Amino acid sequence: MKAIKKTLLCTGIAAAMTVSAAQAAGISDDKVKIGVLADMGGVYADICGEGCVTAVQMAVEDFGGTVLGKPIEIVSADDQNKPDVGSSIVRKWIDNEQVDTVTGLVASSVTGAVAKVLTDSKKIALISTSASHAFTTKACSPYNVQWTYNVVALANGTVKPMVGAGKWRWFFITADYAFGHALESVATEVVNSNGGEVLGAVRAPLGTTDFSSYVLQAQSSGADVIALANAGTDFTNSLKTAAEFGLTQTADVAGLLVFTSNAQALDPEIAGGMKLTTGFYWDMDEQTREWSKRFKERHGAIPAMGQAGAYSMTMHYLKAVEAAGTDDSDTVIRKMKEMKPDDFFARNATLRNDGRMVHDMYQVRIKRADERANPDDIFAIENVISGEEAFGPMLAECDFK
Amino acid sequence: MKMTNTKIALLVGLGLLAPLVIYPVFLMKVLCFALFACAFNLLLGFTGLLSFGHAAFLGTGGYVTGYLMINTGLTPELGILCGTLAAGVVGAVYGKLAVKREGIYFAMVTLALAQLLFFVYLQAPFTGGEDGLQGVPRGFLFGLIDLTDNTYLYYVVYAIFLFGFWLVYRTVHSPFGQILKAIRENEPRAISLGYNVSQYKWVAFVISAALAGLAGSTKTLVFQLASLNDVHWHLSGEVVLMTLLGGMGTIAGPLVGAGVVVTIQNYLSGGELGNYVSIIMGVIFIICVLLFRNGIVGELQRLIKRNFS
């Protein structure tokens, strides 16, 4: 036992020495390691999952596989949408596997826990798919970077123009957990501040399959707009039920968070014509089509906005590492905020000091069956909203310089 | 199997040296779940009561500790103490109701009560709902020792575990423990001997609940997080698996069972088989029930008995 202890001590000292030597040279541990944490098999697997891993791999390959002469490595893991699983994986990555930054990050509950762990260890969280705006407001940190969208942008993008078009009276069907509550409260604010009125809201538990009673309540409220403050299968189920009850004929149904895969899964007869807000659409122009085609060849499906975001933010991170000449988080994050992100995803973009990447958002309409040229032809872009308008101002207490 | 002093010293020493070889956070997770399983085993293995709602106590301990440490700046030892007490109080109330019934009805009552509490924690604003309580500070033990260091924290967790383990050991080997075993073996006879059986069951339930709370509080400190998973019925099922796999009614069984289950979960979740963790667990459970009903430790003890005595 004594001998083992001695060897361990020696390796420990040796390891400590290599770390300090490498830091002086710029890149710690002679590599840049990116962790991809996402739900790989659960309800959110389609919107990030393996696709996010593919996107990050593409970013690393497109970057050339090395930065400052050192290799870039990727590790990935399944957080099972559980905050405790996610945070213990990330803790292990940082303590034992020299991970420099973590991306992916889907369920807001997992992201919240993981971002805290990362901030404690001074590592950067590259949040690609989480919706909550807490990471750049009440839970903001100098090491948080949120790229694709957030609930504020969704509410501003979808709710504001509808209220403006004379749809005054709103009713919410809300997923009964933190994300749904946040979305509902942000959207309610937007409705009220634009002169509209919220008639009521009904809370449905996550994973509800029978939405009929909720839809009937919504119907009897007499609202102009029924807003679905939910996501994933909750969204598709509630919309299907609304269509069965004829609600889509008498009122407008607004999906507040809709991913391309959700829209693709729905019957165009039901979903066609619905307006929503997204941070990315694959068929927007030449640049997005070129990247999305490459992505589809590897992944087998068109990219969701979070997957495109994961590519874009990984690329920006690597560029910042190269420009900074080090992978030291404090230096890199400053560089990331100095440099303007600009690629097929990030249009008219800046990374604000609070970690919010502000970029163009798109108001789209789900195409009807007769408009669709192929199964991937889902959205028609109706309007581009500037980042400032969508994401709103930065909080003074989150202005990390 | 009588534990000699040398054996005990050897095992305790092994635990002291473990963090030099194995990742301490993983070890702490094993210890927390081992303590949880030990608490559960006191009820299932030694009193013969199958509680299907033990996660409620683990979660209560975790939430109370987490909430107090975030909002009042309590030191960790006080936070853990409050969490344990809270779980004990919940256990006292639930136990009072549950011990009125036996067998499957007892299990159902505990499950129902635990689901009730799950819903409260889901909706109550102080738990943070789906997000859980995040960023619980580890703080300074007695205001002195900085627990953000994993190695220091490991030894604290280890001490807590040893305390819990010792408590279960003492309980089982006391006259009180003998009566619990008597109740397990033949309840009507225990009644006919004049013991107030439901009182004994209740006390065992409260001890078990408080220890589960202790495990939950410690877990919150380790992961700096209290989440809904800690109160979910899945976890109540997992602790049954840990106890059965390790060896129900043996002192070391829950420790071994928790070690095996946590290790499998940890190593599988990172690899190719990540999606199959629950299936693999299920198969293990079936094999365990069909082929070695005494659990790992139980079977080992039988083998030793057969070959050496």
Q: Is residue A21 part of a domain?
A: no
Q: How many domains does chain A have?
A: 2
Residue A134 sits in the same domain as residue A248: no
> What confidence category does residue A3 fall into, taking pLDDT thresholds of 50, 70 and 90?
very low
Looking at residue A35, its pLDDT comes to 94
Q: Does B14 touch chain A (CB under 8 A)?
A: no
Contact by Cβ (8 Å): A143, A123? yes
From CA B297, how far away is CA B303, in angstroms rounded?
Answer: 10
Q: Mean pLDDT of all residues in chain A?
A: 87
Residue A184 sits in the same domain as residue A290: no
Q: Does B137 touch chain A (CB under 8 A)?
A: no
Contact by Cβ (8 Å): B149, B140? no
Contacts of B29 in chain A (CB under 8 A): 88
Are B20 and A95 within 8 A, CB to CB? no
Looking at residue A334, its pLDDT comes to 92
Give the least confident one: A8-17, A77-86, A221-230, B76-85.
A8-17
Residue A251 sits in the same domain as residue A378: yes
Are B23 and A95 within 8 A, CB to CB? yes
Give the least confident one: A19-28, A36-45, A365-374, B89-98.
A19-28
Are A178 and B25 within 8 A, CB to CB? no
Per the model's pLDDT, the better-predicted residue between B73 and A3 turns out to be B73
Contact by Cβ (8 Å): B42, B204? yes
**Interface with A, mutate which of B21, B25, B69, B130 (most A CBs under 10 A):** B130
In this prediction, what percent of chain A has a pLDDT beyond 70? 94
Q: Which of B25, B128, B132 faces A88 most closely, judged by CB atoms?
A: B25
- d(CA A110, nearest CA chain B) in Å: 7
Q: Which of A95, A108, A206 faces B131 most closely, judged by CB atoms?
A: A108
From CA A143, how far away is CA A154, in angstroms rounded?
Answer: 24
- β-bridge mates for residue B132, sequence order: none
Does an H or E element contain A228, and which?
Answer: strand A225-229
Are B131 and A84 within 8 A, CB to CB? no
Q: Does A96 touch chain B (CB under 8 A)?
A: yes
Looking at residue B272, its pLDDT comes to 64
From CA A296, how far away is CA A302, in angstroms rounded?
Answer: 5
Does residue A271 surpass a pLDDT of 90?
Answer: no
Q: Where are the domains of chain B?
A: 23-232
Following CA atoms B245, B248, B252, B254 in sequence, which dihedral angle do they give, to the nearest 10 degrees? 50
Q: Is residue A143 part of a domain?
A: yes
From CA A357, how far away is CA B251, in angstroms rounded?
Answer: 55
What order of strands is seen across the sheet that includes strand A32-38? Answer: A66-67, A70-78, A32-38, A101-104, A124-127, A144-146
Residue A157 sits in the same domain as residue A249: yes
User: pTM for this structure?
Assistant: 0.81
- Taking only the tens place, the pLDDT of each residue in A103-126 is 999 988 889 889 999 998 999 999
Contact by Cβ (8 Å): A187, A215? no
Q: Is residue A12 part of a domain?
A: no
Here the tokens at position B265 are: 């979960």
Does an H or E element contain A189, and which?
Answer: helix A178-193
Per the model's pLDDT, the better-predicted residue between A208 and A21 turns out to be A208
Taking the CB of residue B5, how many other CB atoms lie within 10 A of it?
7
Q: What's the CA angle centered on B230, arms B227 and B235, to 5 degrees?
A: 145
Contacts of A91 in chain B (CB under 8 A): 25, 223
Residue A142 sits in the same domain as residue A192: no
- The alpha-helical segments, DSSP class H, found in B173-252 are 175-185, 187-192, 197-223, 233-246
Q: Where are the beta strands (DSSP E) in A303-398?
A: 350-351, 357-358, 361-366, 379-385
Are A109 and B20 within 8 A, CB to CB? no
**Interface with A, mutate which of B234, B238, B265, B269 (most A CBs under 10 A):** B269
Looking at residue A19, its pLDDT comes to 45
Nearest CA in chain A to B119: A205
Looking at residue A272, its pLDDT comes to 85
> Domain range for residue A211?
152-278+362-391
Here the tokens at position B51 are: 């509680």
For residue A319, with 0-12 CB atoms within 10 Å meaning exposed, 13-18 middle and 19 or more buried, which class applies?
middle
Does an H or E element contain A225, and which?
Answer: strand A225-229
Residue A229 sits in the same domain as residue A163: yes
Are B129 and A113 within 8 A, CB to CB? no
Candidates A339, A363, A361, A362; CA nearest to A351 is A339
Q: List phi, psi (to 5°) of A78.
A: -100, 120
- β-bridge mates for residue B225, sequence order: B134
Residue A144 sits in the same domain as residue A156: no
Q: What is the pLDDT averaged over residues A273-292?
A: 91
- d(CA B8, nearest CA chain A) in Å: 18
Give the least confident one: A89-103, A276-290, B295-309.
B295-309
Q: Is residue A2 part of a domain?
A: no
Q: Which of A107, A109, A116 faces B224 most closely, judged by CB atoms?
A: A116
Q: Does B23 touch chain A (CB under 8 A)?
A: yes
Taking the CB of residue B123, how many other CB atoms lie within 10 A of it?
12
From CA A126, how far away is CA A132, in angstroms rounded?
Answer: 14
Looking at residue B275, its pLDDT comes to 67
Are B135 and A95 within 8 A, CB to CB? no
Are A40 and B274 within 8 A, CB to CB? yes
Here the tokens at position A291 are: 């990247």
Looking at residue A22, its pLDDT comes to 42
From CA B224, how far away is CA A83, in angstroms rounded?
Answer: 11
From CA A318, how far away is CA A387, in angstroms rounded?
Answer: 23
Rounded to a whole number, what is the largest CA-CA distance in chain B? Answer: 59
From CA B163, how far away is CA B171, in angstroms rounded?
Answer: 12
Candidates A326, A364, A360; CA nearest to A343 is A360
Looking at residue B214, its pLDDT comes to 95
Are A178 and B17 within 8 A, CB to CB? no
Residue A141 sits in the same domain as residue A160: no
From CA A310, how far away is CA A331, in angstroms rounded?
Answer: 21
Looking at residue A13, its pLDDT comes to 47
Looking at residue B2, its pLDDT comes to 54
From CA A273, how far away is CA A261, in angstroms rounded?
Answer: 16
- d(CA A140, nearest CA chain B) in Å: 13
Residue A103 sits in the same domain as residue A138: yes
Residue type, A107: A
Q: Which of B130, B225, B230 faces A87 most closely, judged by CB atoms?
A: B225
> Measured between alpha carbons, how far apart are the two ends of chain B, in Å?
11
Q: What's the CA angle centered on A48, arms A109 and A306, to 5 degrees?
A: 90
Does residue A10 surpass a pLDDT of 60?
Answer: no
Looking at residue B270, its pLDDT comes to 62
Q: What's the CA angle centered on B162, arms B160 and B167, to 5 degrees?
A: 95
Q: Does A112 touch chain B (CB under 8 A)?
A: yes
CATH label of the domain that carries residue A220: 3.40.50.2300
**Full pLDDT tens readout for chain B, 309 residues:** 455 788 788 888 888 888 888 888 889 999 999 999 999 999 998 988 899 999 999 999 999 999 999 888 888 889 999 999 999 999 999 999 998 888 899 999 999 999 999 989 988 888 877 778 888 888 888 878 888 888 889 999 999 999 999 999 999 999 999 999 999 999 999 999 999 999 999 999 999 999 999 999 999 999 888 888 889 898 898 899 999 999 888 888 899 999 998 888 877 766 666 667 778 888 888 888 888 888 888 888 888 887 765
Q: What is the ipTM of this complex?
A: 0.74
Rounded to a whole number, what is the largest CA-CA distance in chain A? Answer: 79
Cα separations (Å) of A264 from A98, A211, A267, A304, A377?
Answer: 39, 21, 8, 11, 9
Residue A232 sits in the same domain as residue A115: no
**Interface with B, mutate which of A79, A88, A183 (most B CBs under 10 A):** A88
Taking the CB of residue B301, how many other CB atoms lie within 10 A of it?
17
Here the tokens at position A244 are: 């069965």
Q: Is residue A377 part of a domain?
A: yes
Q: Which of A41, A78, A82 faces B229 most closely, judged by CB atoms?
A: A82
Cα separations (Å) of A76 from A7, A94, A166, A181, B168?
Answer: 31, 13, 47, 30, 40
From CA B94, how far away is CA A90, in angstroms rounded?
Answer: 36
- d(CA B269, nearest CA chain A) in Å: 7
Taking the CB of residue A396, how many other CB atoms lie within 10 A of it?
7
Residue A268 sits in the same domain as residue A381: yes
Are B225 and A89 within 8 A, CB to CB? no
Looking at residue B304, its pLDDT comes to 84
- The alpha-helical segments, DSSP class H, found in B72-196 are 76-98, 103-123, 150-172, 175-185, 187-192
Q: Which of B17, B224, B274 faces A41 most closely, judged by CB atoms?
A: B274
Looking at residue A126, its pLDDT comes to 95
From CA A68, how far away is CA A325, in angstroms rounded?
Answer: 7
**Residues 145-184, chain B: which have Cβ within 8 Å of A?**
148, 150
In this prediction, what percent of chain A has a pLDDT beyond 90? 56
Does residue A200 surpass a pLDDT of 50?
Answer: yes
Here the tokens at position A329 are: 């988080």
**Residue A6 DSSP one-character state:** H
From CA A234, how far away is CA A265, in angstroms rounded?
Answer: 13
From CA A1, how far away is CA A20, in angstroms rounded?
Answer: 29
User: Is the torsion defined by CA of B270, B273, B279, B281 positive or negative?
Assistant: negative
Q: Is residue A84 part of a domain?
A: yes
Q: Is residue A335 part of a domain?
A: yes
**Interface with B, mutate which of A53, A84, A92, A133 (most B CBs under 10 A):** A84
Looking at residue A239, its pLDDT comes to 92
Are B17 and A5 within 8 A, CB to CB? yes
Q: Is residue A396 part of a domain?
A: no
Are A83 and B131 within 8 A, CB to CB? yes
Contacts of B17 in chain A (CB under 8 A): 1, 5
Looking at residue A319, its pLDDT comes to 93
From CA A313, how far away is CA A333, in angstroms rounded?
Answer: 12
For residue A56, with 0-12 CB atoms within 10 Å meaning exposed, 13-18 middle and 19 or more buried, which class applies?
buried
Q: Is B137 helix (H, G, I), strand (E, B) or coil?
A: coil
- Taking only the tens place, the pLDDT of each residue in A297-348 is 999 999 999 999 999 999 999 999 999 999 899 999 999 999 999 899 999 9
**Interface with A, mutate which of B32, B123, B131, B138 (most A CBs under 10 A):** B131
Q: Which of B122, B128, B223 faces A87 most closely, judged by CB atoms?
A: B223
